[in-house]
Structure 1
């Protein structure tokens, strides 16, 4: 099958030059499947709706996630450890599902259909979470303790429906927005950078509103209303997405890069008993149709086992000699470029694993940090500050530091180092990985002071430094690792490598859940309350924070070792 670009070229071949210039040059199509006109599709006319949807989805998601720990402990009566574990596991699932969503969008349904269906599932899931809060109001004659199991079932059913919905939205919204700008048009290509800026601004702006306004509604006006608002907001986002249908530009599905990764592993295992040729030029180097337009990658000498996927055996040579229309199956024979793409992924895995711990600490922002705040004095003057709203300091730090980093730090560092970005991506990530250590140390010192003071007498505002430190870490590590994975990825694997960022967040959430379970198992023995009991005044949450700080130091050392050994890919 011809590529999208070839399809468009064929359709435009008979048009006069001036008429052809009115169409996009990147092979994008309009809603009717025809070449997209620049003055009727794409650009900001389409991206305003996409940004509106993104704002609504972030507002809705964070409107539930920021204060979920309070709902689980205060309404459903879960223990601190169980609630923190449930929140971490759910959030991790929310960041794991986009991998499946990306495969569905790239291989089968396309980004737009995937987003619409996912939005419907997300809205249904949020309505289910709201129903869990309405159940005691609808069934007034049942004892409250008897209704809790039903509330939990409905709540978690809704939460994991939301996770499935986000799985289709998260990987598609940003890339679908970028599709609205023609890379072949210099003016549109320059405007694409502004789209990414507004995308990140929207994300943090929505988080700020969620951590203040929606959390306040949940704490002061009740959970029924507080959980209904996110559902209504996401439904509004779905309306924004559908309303501008005819202004969008669409790209054809081209298959999932994840399948190509699996093909290398399978082909190498099938030929595990075959010796590699001494001359690497004998490896299969012909680019298949699916790799048309993809730059070749030179052969490297490490990870030689996977080079066996490119060995030509007798049956493969017969197919090539016959010049058969259907080439050898890629599950049996892969080109060198495809093998090298896989090797690049493998080389980045140790660095990716080091980043995972950062997100295990980030998971504390919406779990143990909130639980710590619930045991503190939340009154500031005459106003009661919901503990979950303290994450505002995290968000404000990000909003303030992103432009400062880009406009002030990078130019200053560039003059000192001569690097285009001021410092390397790995240096940026490393600096960010030091922030969780400082944040955990700050939280531990605060908890020690809180335990020594009178109960509920320590102001919740003392948590601001630990939230701000995590915000600094996110500016350095989160953006740095996305930049690193995208920059080091080969042309045909950009989506997969960028998705490693979401997978790191998911793995960090699961790691947090594992650590919380292990700590509870190891410390709550023989009738002891453990480090994280329901009444934190009887526990030692400070020891948990010190443990995380120590693990963070070890993780930073491991990252430094991996970073020194990593050979950066150029070109």
Structure 2
């Protein structure tokens, strides 16, 4: 019986005790609310240290600025890339419930280790005055404790990011319009929860670290992480947890290998392929009984092969006698692999957006430091610039979910207001606007610098207010609301049920690759612009010697080209609802 067809059971789901889940008890808004609160606490713990970590490494661990920057970039990139591992384990072997708990405990242990090191002077390098003597970096056990703590945190963050979004989204019934709307709202408020945690992190906790000591910052993060575990456990009786379906990577490898082997096979195999393509029922007879049983018990089933990615259809053909029968693939497995392959170009098109985000978070703070940072009598630290996009996201998400979506739904007939791909595309357009704005603001700043007679470092700041920098942050914050929430929902709804957590993790992998690409791009630009005796765009004694506005224009052009590339794939993408009729979990975006 399909979901929503009169049964109190949730097929394919269990409760926290591994017993069959029930509609009357498990899932719904109440269960998802616990997930949102947990995300506030978890992101607070993560960002409180990540946003200020470079300062800790330079001032207290005596790293050089370049080594500290690389350490932070590697830490952030690794944490987000490990979301793929968390998503894979959630789909293949464990429930999202268990993966979250294990990952949260790992992150908590890492934070406790960092707290102990920050509190005990003998676990840190000896204090020194860099103007009088060289400061020694941590070595041996001190360095080992630092990096063990950091990468335990990274491993925990990866597991949480790879499991928690899909765990929350699984709480809603996708067979009803109300359930689909609630699930879409969940992704919007998931981004809202990220921002809530980030706001507390970059204000209160960062102030503690700068004024009371880093042991306080790490300590608050540890307490927040522990509290998130408690909150998550309190909601245990409400959660429904998807039963793992085995390794999705194994399925993908088998389908691709089978399509290659059978494509190079005998004439008999070729005839079987034609039979599969023209008569799906005949191909089903060639599938062994164990596979048929597994397929028929699945909530999502495909009964015929589609015409997309036709070369993979060969994998569902019966193997000729004498060939390896382990390469026989069900129609369902072939169609699931097609779904994953089809979403990869969309994933690739979001990396440039995250590259823009990484560049702005690097240079914008330095720009603000040369400008007037006063708001009335209040002097705002340049490092607090991230407050602007965070606050803007917190304002924009409720407005988007409560006002824009219902209004757009009446016009478009789409439950989510606009389709997932339209929403992602809107975010990409906003990233282009953000980079153009950044280039114009930097041009204005450089003109002011020229007008006041090229002031040297340490002189009074430029007369322009740093609030000009806030505009590019606001556009990027808007892009985040559209693209991150849109990506999470798109990957979750379009991926096969057996690969949802892994697919959702691609959103975080895109962020990691954006950070890595930003470092590579700076190196390439400097090498390319330093030829023929010219000074590199992104080097000099001060930021005023940089040609940062040219770099921003370059990023604007790359973002525009990336958007054209995105339109190519988005225009050709067919949602599952356009070709699937007996799946109970398909988006209604036809």
When normalised by structure 2's length, the TM-score is 0.79
Q: Unaligned 5+ residue runs, structure 1?
A: 7-19, 320-327
Aligned 8 A contact 2:192 2:393 in 1 = no
List aligned pairs for 1:318-329, cutoff 5 A.
Answer: 328-329=325-326
Instruction: Answer yes or no: is 1:300 the counterpart of 2:295.
Output: no
Give the distance between the partners of 1:128 and 1:44, measured in 2 at CA. Answer: 36
Is 1:204 matched with 2:195?
yes
Distance in 2, matches of 1:130 and 1:376, equals 35
Q: Is the CA contact 2:117–2:123 (under 8 Å) kept in the aligned structure 1?
A: no
1:354-409 Cα offsets, whole Å, 9 max, x none, are 11111111223432323333444434333332323211221222222223223333
Q: Which residue of 2 aligns with 1:167?
A: 158
What residue in structure 2 maps to residue 288 of structure 1?
292
* Matched residue, 2:588: none
Give the match for residue 478 of structure 2.
472
| Equivalent residue number for residue 557 of structure 1 | 564
The whole-number CA distance in structure 2 between the counterparts of 1:310 and 1:198 is 41
Is 1:115 the counterpart of 2:100? The answer is: yes
Whole-Å separation in 2 of the counterparts to 1:243 and 1:564 = 44
Evaluate the alpha carbon distance shift between residue 182 and residue 410 of structure 1 in structure 2; reply closer, same or farther with a 3 A threshold: closer
Match of 1:99 in 2: 84
1:272–1:308 CA contact under 8 A, matched in 2: yes
2:494: which partner in 1?
A: 488
Deviates more, 1:170-179 or 1:228-237: 170-179
Hey, what does 1:543 align to over in structure 2? 550
Aligned length: 543
RMSD: 3.8
Q: CA deviation at 1:142?
A: 5.6
Partner of 2:225: 234
Tell me by how many angstroms 1:470 deviates: 0.2
- Shift of residue 433, structure 1, vs aligned partner: 0.8
Q: Residues 31 and 249 of structure 1 are in contact (CA less than 8 Å); yes or no, is this contact kept in structure 2?
A: yes
Q: Which residue of 1 aligns with 2:206?
A: 215
- Give the Cα–Cα distance (whole angstroms) in 2 for the partners of residues 391 and 371 of structure 1: 13
- Please tell me whether residue 336 in structure 1 is matched to residue 331 in structure 2: yes
8 Å CA contact 1:218, 1:225 repeated in 2: yes
Contact 2:208 2:217 in 1 (8 A): yes
Closer, same or farther: CA 231–533 of 1 in aligned 2, 3 Å: farther
CA displacement 1:5-54 (0-9 Å, x = unmatched): 99xxxxxxxxxxxxx99x75446545554455778766677656544432
| Mapped pair 1:435 → 2:430 | yes
Conserved in 2, the CA contact under 8 Å of 1:360 and 1:511?
yes
The answer to whether 1:351 aligns with 2:342 is: no
1:75-109 CA distances to partner (integer Å, 9 max, x unpaired)? 66767766555444432322221211122233333
TM-score of the two chains, using structure 1 as the length reference:
0.81
CA distance in 1, matches of 2:410, 2:98: 47
Alignment of 1:490-505 (within 5 A): 490-505=496-511
Kindly state the Cα deviation for residue 296 of structure 1 after the two structures are TM-superposed.
1.0
The residue number in structure 1 matching 2:383 is: 388
For 2:372 and 2:58, how far apart are their aligned partners in 1? 18
Residue among 487, 508, 518 paired with 1:512: 518
Equivalent pair of 2:111/2:218 in contact (CA under 8 Å): yes
SS in 2 for 1:254: coil
Deviations 1:115-148 (A, max 9, x none): 2221121122223444564566766856464443
- The alignment partner of 1:158 has SS state of helix
Query: Contact (CA 8 Å) 2:97, 2:167: kept in 1 or not?
Result: yes
Give the alignment partner of residue 137 of structure 2, picking from 115, 124, 148: 148
Cα distance, 1:316–1:460 mapped onto 2, change above 3 Å:
farther
